[in-house]
Amino acid sequence: MNVKDMQIRKSDGIGPKTFQILKDNNINTIFDLINIFPTRYLNFMETGLEQDNVFIKCTVFTLPKMTFVKKNLSYMTFDVTYKDRIVRVTIFNRNYLEYKIKENQVIYVTGKFEANRNNIIASNIYFSLKEDSFEPVYDFNQIPSKTLKKIINNVLDKYSIYIHEELPEYLLKRYNLPDIYTAYKYIHNPSSELEYQLAYKRFKYEEFLTFELKLQYIRQINRTSLKTPKKWDINVIRDFIKTIPFELTDSQKEVSNEIYKDLKSNYPMNRLVQGDVGSGKTIVAALAIYAVALDNYEVCFMAPTEILAYQHYENLSNLFKDTKIRIEVLTSSIKGKTRKELLDKIKNHEVDVIIGTHALFTDDIIYDNLGLVITDEQHRFGVKQRQALREKGFNPDVLYLTATPIPRTLAISLFGDMDSSIIKQMPNGRKKVKTKVVLEDNLDACLSFLSNELDNGHQAYVISPLIEESDKMDLHDVYKTYDLLKEKLPNYKMEILHGKMKQTEKDEIMNRFKNKEFNLLISTTVIEVGIDNPNATVMMIFNAERFGLSQLHQLRGRVGRSNLESFCFLITDDTDKARLKIIEETTDGFKLAEEDLKLRGPGDFFGLRQSGVPKFKFGDLIQDYRVLENAKNDAYDLVFNIGLDRYVYLKDKVNKEINSIKD
Ligand code: ADP
Ligand code: MG
């Protein structure tokens, strides 16, 4: 038996109301229950009244007076003595405390102190506190922390033998981690800060290890499945390369050779190609496509959005115009008869390259002979999808393209199931985007420069961090920016684009922008993925301090895509100039990623939605990145040297994780 399969019961000391709340929140098993973690710990640290947020030990001086304002709103006030003064305490919606508060009783009050009114707006009152202990605070859907703490500690003890240790003992020893039962006790009933910190250390490691095991396991599966090596006439490729209007960079040649080696091997390719924006990944993909098509296989090319799918379609059609390669686009907006005809073509292998958004592997699409899958940004092509394809008799080579620069060390840990290539070099003669940090106060000068560019027939992007106004933060939002620019630059046409719009709406606006139907695109960061409008020469980013360097670099990559001189303005207040200065000088995406990593801020570095970077519950990719590295090495060792079969619980856990990978 295992707590993971044991349902919670009322006989576990859970009252009917609490039981219902737990059920309603999907807490079904004992395992679910003990994995409700405290959001923080309370430790009595007397603050005094010299600050706004206070926590004091005081004595009740007068009995509470209740005031009922309306239904569901009441408050109670009473006086306490604290050291040599009398202070008023106000607390809302705690009628039930009225008769508990007695004269001369010692209580603990925490809340906000309003010095001018000599009043504490209390958020909580405690009647007893072990002053040297750490109380877990759960914030779990109206179940009082005390109740939850009691229930959880109770079941922890009652079912301790059904909580199985999943980590090998030698690893616990290696890193001085508590065993699983102790770790839960440290979380739910710590007697010191150190205890719950130790517990967190364990859960972090466990989370990373499971993740890395999954990757290594996938790698092992891939290594044991065979495919037919692909073959083609290299002379045809050479002739094709001669038709490309530019010389390939050394990096492009190198990476293409790595891909060709994979295609010719007995094992399916699983390769990630990282290359900065504009490094020329498309041609590398095209060379792979051409070789595979020459061997008479079909190729799927997945793009994150429809507009990018059509962009790839245009580019590839252009590149392949003198060849026999047939290309089609298949997206969810292609429906009815057209779709049916297209599916027939795919089935009869009357098309070589199918470019689409995600749904290229739904059941109604039948391939004749699928040999290669390429995904551009965002998509992870999981084990499950591979498995589904294998069941249909395909074991395609898979190539991932990404412009998200991830520091090498981190990439090894995060994409450990893949081989990786980097296009290090930019094509010759690419003009640098002139980048300037501009203080908000100098906005007008910047706008007059912008209008100059627009007068020359060029276009511009203007980015704001928010869609709508927020009462929490004083930041630019797209609507405010629109109003501002309408006022300051009344003679130009502008449109708004943001992530809450429908895909079709977004596509329409992007297309009109590409067709030069308006001058200014006012947007959130939704435009950061791969959009190509060579006529746009200015990128203006408001509240630049809100973005990671990598993200700013991605945004900057939207301009400078032709031989026109291009500009990027980072508008900011004074506080963040030093960090932003880095981007004025550096155009190397990998260097900026490393800087981001150093300067920290996981939100910063991984602000990129398309990066395919997994989310962790306990671990922080940047702060805990050494732990991740250890976990990666340990996982490799477990899978390839020691053998996971010796650790049944762990193996089981990893298998479950693999099965739950989303399609
Ligand atoms: P990305 O890596 O961002 O996807 P693309 O493949 O879209 O970059 O290439 C960006 C631009 O650079 C395209 O216009 C492409 O034709 C051009 N390009 C690619 N490789 C070279 C090269 N070796 N020399 C000159 N221009 C190139
Ligand atoms: Mg691209």
CATH of the domain at 71: 2.40.50.140
Residue with tokens 């390259």: 353
User: In terms of domains, do 364 and 254 share one?
Assistant: yes
**Protein residue closest via CA to atom 19 of ligand 1:** 280
The ligand minimizing its distance to the Cα of 610 is 2
54, part of any domain: yes
Residue nearest to atom 17 of ligand 1 (CA): 280
Residue that is written with structure tokens 């200014």 in the block? 520
If asked whether residues 439 and 565 sit together in one domain, one would say yes
Both 455 and 578 in one domain: the answer is yes
- Domain check: are 495 and 383 in the same one? no
How far is residue 181's CA from residue 602's CA, in Å, rounded to a whole number?
30
**Do residue 243 and residue 360 come from a single domain?**
yes
Looking at the fold, whether 475 and 581 belong to one and the same domain comes out as: yes
Residue 522: helix, strand or coil by DSSP? Answer: strand
pLDDT at position 575 is 72
Q: Which residues of the chain have pLDDT under 70?
A: 378-384, 386-387, 408-409, 472, 528-530, 600-613, 661-663
In a domain, 355, yes or no: yes
> Domain span at residue 331?
234-264+280-402
Residue 662: inside a domain, yes or no? no
582 belongs to a structural domain = yes
Q: Is residue 515, in this structure, part of any structural domain at all?
A: yes
Residue 295 CA to ligand 1 center (angstroms) comes to 26
Closest-CA residue, ligand 1 atom 10, reads 278
Which of 107, 126, 145 finishes a domain? 126
Assess if residue 598 is contained within a domain. no
* Domain end position, chosen among 528, 552, 586: 586
Q: In which residue are the tokens 């737990």 written?
A: 22
Q: Which residue, among 121, 92, 94, 95, has the nearest Cα to 109 in the 3D structure?
A: 121
Return the ligand number nearest the Cα of 273: 1
Chain segment 263-294, per-residue pLDDT in tens = 999 999 989 898 887 889 999 999 999 999 99
Residue 462 and residue 365 share a domain: no
The answer, yes or no, to whether any atom of ligand 1 lies below 6 A from the CB of 404, is no
Enumerate residues with CB within 5 Å of ligand 2 (an ion): 530
pLDDT (0 to 100) of residue 378: 59
Q: What is the pLDDT of residue 316?
A: 95
In this structure, are 363 and 446 located in the same domain?
no
Distance 291 CA to ligand 1 centre (A): 19
Which of 564, 586, 608 terminates a domain? The answer is 586
335 within some domain = yes
Same domain? For 396 and 464 the reply is no
Q: How far apart are CA 371 and CA 304, in angstroms?
A: 21
Round to whole Å and give the CA distance between 435 and 419.
Answer: 34
Nearest CA owner, ligand 1 atom 15: 280
Q: Do residues 399 and 273 touch, judged by C-beta distance below 8 A? A: yes
User: Does one domain contain both 390 and 455?
Assistant: no
Contact (Cβ atoms closer than 8 angstroms) between residue 256 and residue 284: yes
DSSP state of 378: S
Q: What spacing in Å lies between the alpha carbon of 309 and ligand 2's midpoint? A: 10
Residue 248 beta carbon below 6 angstroms from any ligand 1 atom: yes
Ligand 1 atom, smallest distance to 532 CA: 7
Ligand nearest to the Cα of 554, by number: 1
Residue 200 domain flag: no
Q: Are residues 249 and 393 in the same domain?
A: yes
Domain of residue 323, CATH code: 3.40.50.300
Going by alpha carbons, the residue nearest to atom 23 of ligand 1 is 248
Which residue type sits at 470? S
* Tokens standing for residue 615: 């989310």
Give the DSSP letter of residue 441: G
Is 360 in the same domain as 467? Answer: no
Question: Number of folded domains in the chain?
Answer: 3
> 274 has which bridge partners?
402, 422
Best substitution site from 244, 250, 283, 564 to test ligand 1's pocket, by max atoms within 8 Å of Cβ? 283
